[in-house]
Amino acid sequence: MRSIGDGSLRVLVTGSRGKSSVARLLHAAFEACGLEAWTRITGVVPRQLGPGGTREILRTSGAHVEEMRWWLRSLPQKAQAIVLENSSITPELQPLAARWLRPHLTILTNVLPDHQEAWGPGPAAAAEALAAGLHPDGRVLMPEHLEHDKSLRSLLEKRGCTAVFATAEDSGGPAHQSVNAGLALAALEHLGLPATEARRAVQGLGQDRYDFRVLRHRGAELALAFSVNDIASTRALFRSLRWREESTRLVYNHRADRPGRFRSFGDWLSRGRWREVVIIGDRPVSRPAGSHYLRLDGASSLLRLLQPGDSAFGCGNIAGHPLALY
């Protein structure tokens, strides 16, 4: 692989959730510091952020870990700051991003349970899988709420990593946005860059197209949380709306290749006092009690479910028909 210029600042972003958001914030912060920054985010749609703006990374086939190495090879030698989102999932592939990038700093956004098919259930399994992707003997920046996670600290010590922690930066929005902003600004501090202009850039960065929001359609409301994936973040977003379960239609978009995620949502789907629970997407083998499956022929079919005055909360997975709503 062609060597990345030694003068570039290199940051790897990993974690269960929030990687793309932190990468976008860090890119804006680097640019505010006057650096030529290049960033690759995966998220819902793979994109490159660079001096010329944002462009989609087109794929001729499905996602592949080698895409990260290809992207790094394509960067100009004059790149002054490089931010790479680790898109590996399986534990055995986690180390590749750090090996190819050789980061000065790794940001670990969280260790929420996800990708249970590859990682196993629970936060401890997620932490072990993600720790495999940390640069040995490197610095790892994490949100302050992970400071007392003893199992995670043990995993970092085994890899010789130095843990540093970021305080949330009040963003005026949901708590996870404040945490992400704090990570981006703390990264600049640890890289020796001024944060004054960067703070303005971070605070002024608008929402990404695929961020959580509420779509209003013909007098009804549909909360678009399909891209969130993990149950803890999904529940937190629902609470932020202050909606009553009894008045809410819960819509779960299922992927047949994510059965572990479906199971992790099971209790929430079945034990809530929801007005209705609808499963869309791939037909599941079994359904939570009280739910029913509905086959849709497009995003417009989902909107047709809504009646004036309805409140619907969409979650689970964004792939498939929900993607067209963003």
Per-residue pLDDT, averaged over 27-40, amounts to 96
What secondary structure letter does DSSP report for 115?
Answer: -
pLDDT at position 62, please? 62
Question: In the predicted model, is pLDDT for residue 183 greater than 70?
Answer: yes
Which domains does the chain show, CATH number per domain? 9-204 (3.40.1190.10), 213-325 (3.90.190.20)
How many Cα neighbours within 13 Å face the side chain of 309?
1
Question: In the predicted model, is pLDDT for residue 21 greater than 70?
Answer: yes
Question: In the predicted model, is pLDDT for residue 277 greater than 70?
Answer: yes
Element (H, E) at 312: strand 311-315
pLDDT at position 229, please? 87
CB 207 within 8 A of CB 303: no
Q: How far is CA 230 from CA 266, 267, 295, in A?
A: 12, 13, 23
User: pLDDT tens for residues 202-240?
Assistant: 989 988 889 999 999 999 999 999 999 899 999 999 999
Structure tokens at 238: 């629902």
Rounded to 10°, the helix 231-241/259-271 angle is 40
Q: Mean of the per-residue pLDDT values for the chain?
A: 92
Output the pTM of the full model.
Answer: 0.89
CB 192 within 8 A of CB 8: no
Q: Which of 207, 182, 202, 208 minimizes the C-alpha distance to 33?
A: 202
Question: In the predicted model, is pLDDT for residue 7 greater than 70?
Answer: no
Per-residue pLDDT, averaged over 4-33, amounts to 90
Q: How long, in residues, is the chain?
A: 326
Q: Which of 21, 240, 235, 10 minimizes the C-alpha distance to 110?
A: 21
Identify the weakest region by mean pLDDT among 41-50, 67-76, 269-278.
41-50
CB 41 within 8 A of CB 23: yes
pLDDT at position 60, please? 60
Place of tokens 């349970």: 113
59 by Cβ neighbours in 10 Å (0-12 / 13-18 / 19+) ranks as exposed
CB 47 within 8 A of CB 57: yes
Rounded distance between C-alpha atoms, residue 210 and residue 187, angstroms: 24
* pLDDT bracket for residue 59 (50, 70, 90): low
* pLDDT bracket for residue 48 (50, 70, 90): very high
Rounded distance between C-alpha atoms, residue 65 and residue 289, angstroms: 38
Question: In the predicted model, is pLDDT for residue 2 greater than 50?
Answer: no
User: pLDDT tens for residues 84-138?
Assistant: 999 999 999 999 999 999 999 999 999 998 889 899 988 899 999 999 999 999 9
Question: In the predicted model, is pLDDT for residue 323 greater than 80?
Answer: yes
User: pLDDT tens for residues 190-199?
Assistant: 999 998 889 9
pLDDT at position 1, please? 40
Q: Starting at the edge strand that comes first in sequence, how are the strands of the sheet with 139-143 ordered?
A: 53-56, 47-50, 37-41, 81-85, 9-14, 105-108, 139-143, 162-166
Element (H, E) at 216: strand 213-217
